[in-house]
Chains A and B, each alone.
Chain A
Amino acid sequence: MTRAWHISLAAALLLAAATASARGDGLTYGIRAKGYLNENGQIVKSVTLVVKDGKITKIGKMSRAPEGAVVLDRSTYYIGPGMIDVLSSVGTMRNTGEDANAMEPAARAADLFNQWHADFQRAARAGITTLLIAPSSTNQIGGVTTIVKTAGADAAHRLLGDGPLKLSLTSRAFNQDRVPTSLQGLLAELRRRIAAARADRKDESAFARWARGETTALVDVDDAADLSILARFAEEETVHCIALHGNYAAERLDEMKSLKQPVVLGTYEFTDPLRYTRAPGILESAGIDFILTSEPPRYAPELLRVGTTIAMKGGASRKAALASVTTSAAKLIGVEKRVGKIAPGMDADFVIYTGDPLRLTSAVHEVFVSGERVYSREAEQDARNGGGE
């Protein structure tokens, strides 16, 4: 018993040492695993992942650990990339709508970032390591989104920077108390503002940059009709738009092709009608990227991984289903150089699963963000059973 205690103490010290490395004291650690999920959705067997200063430095088969590195043995587990959810309002207490004005192009979701909010922990626990926080769809121009890591004590390190501009064509954006009160009124106002932004070359605001075609906006839509309207508007004004909640995209393939952008689908639940759940498979065969969202905290963040399995059951490939919550999602919000896959040089955001990460039978065992362990299922169970002592 004493010996067991020593071993667990040693393990705790190792882990402390390992996690300390995330704060940049130069320590390197490795994780030996049964396999990892590469960006093509394939499992590569028996690998070691090496992390240094919060970054992945190596992944693959290794005969021995790198010099001076401690190695965590997870040889019965699988490593998957940390997931990215491109639409959320975590930690903002839903104060992301401006009721008085329909348009708030200068609003910044970053101002609302509350790194202590418990919903971040819930998202991390579900295997989500990066979140986009968006202004509410009750504003026609919601403002600028922000991209954050779901864990880590240091708020500055958790902010990855501003994301795309957010617009909304949904019925929720219209209100009789403020103009414009109609969709055609909104589109007319957008055209005026786009023309003004193009006339003023010095305007470097997020809206002006989008209006000049330099960036992409996330545009919330309600239905298939909105998708058609959005596609036409984007083509006429030569602006880049990505549809959020484009669950009818499979019924508007021509419009989606003319948008030349991926589409965001969700939230996928176990209750969804077929026209939604078949969309990923149909879009994939049509060559259109799809991205999934679980929209925490409105819906449970666990639904993001559930969504990938619903997509696969509906006909999408493993590769596309994985990309929809990792690489494609990262590219959509412009952070693909930092997160989204397990490869050297990327942030050490990864999840240890009890099995194949793309199967619902596998549970999230541990979650690492920027090389730091932020969730452990065993620790949670110990805590629940009245402490680990």
Chain B
Amino acid sequence: MKQFLFSRLLQMIPIVLGVSIIVFLIFSFVPGDYVDGMTHKNPKYTQEKIDLLKEKYGFNDPLPVRYVKWLTNTLRGDLGESFVWQRPVSEVIKVFVINSFYLSLLASMIQLLVAIPLGIFTAVRKYSGIDHMLTIFSLIGISLPSVILALFLKKIFCLDLQVLPMSGIRNLGVNLTGAALVKDMFLHLLLPAIVLALTQIPSLMRYTKTAMLEVLGADYMKTARAKGLTPMTVVYRHGLKNALIPIVTIIGMSVPDLFAGAIIIESIFGIPGVGKAALDAVSQRDFPFLMGFTMFLTVLTMVSNIVTDMVYTLVDPRLKLKGEDRL
């Protein structure tokens, strides 16, 4: 196990470096820069001042110099200062990622609680009326843009019924603590989380169904049933456990999404999340923030892959991690 971890972590280094070079290059090819955007509308900016600003932001250095500067600072733990937010990138990422995380966590919980039982149900009751209905619903869910759904739900619940707040993550001007704060945030995040979950439920549901269908036809299921076990025990103890491997992969791969933010939902519901912040950063060319955030996601993705591989062994004892002694 230790050897596995060590070699995988070692492999991460060249990959992360490679990604950082590619991402840095891509950003440097994007036309326009932050200073142009800031000064273009204000006739008071003189050329000297614009030059001073560009020098200060380091836009005049050649590309390799800029990359090496960025890399050495990053290795020292300093991701630089965000142009737009005028404070350290790590601080900005922290503030926004937490908000996005709350939203995505709630959405994922809804997603798991709805999609997996429904997936199992439709697998067991294959070709039933409910199965067909859910298939149709999930197809609609996959194809319907979340914007439409979000605005529709918002009109009903926030504007017409006025039972849920319009936007933001909490009520402003009241200092809530403890349970009251949790409840307030829950109410604010409920609608966006539902929309986010609704767009993700169909695919997870169909993955679960497919995985279950494969397992349900297996010989050991017949054996289990022949032993006289109840259908519930057969499906959940014997079936689900074996069907979990592909599902764990999907869930594992979606862990970084918890921190990546949801651009559209965050924008519509006015949630100060990292997706919206990243979009603003792109349109204003806030490269320190974008670099920092992209690299954060890169590392997160790789770590969650390693963790997923390790979880496999828990789900399926037949799988052994490379380097682990065979029993």
Q: Does B associate with A?
A: no
Interface residues of A (CB under 8 A from B): none
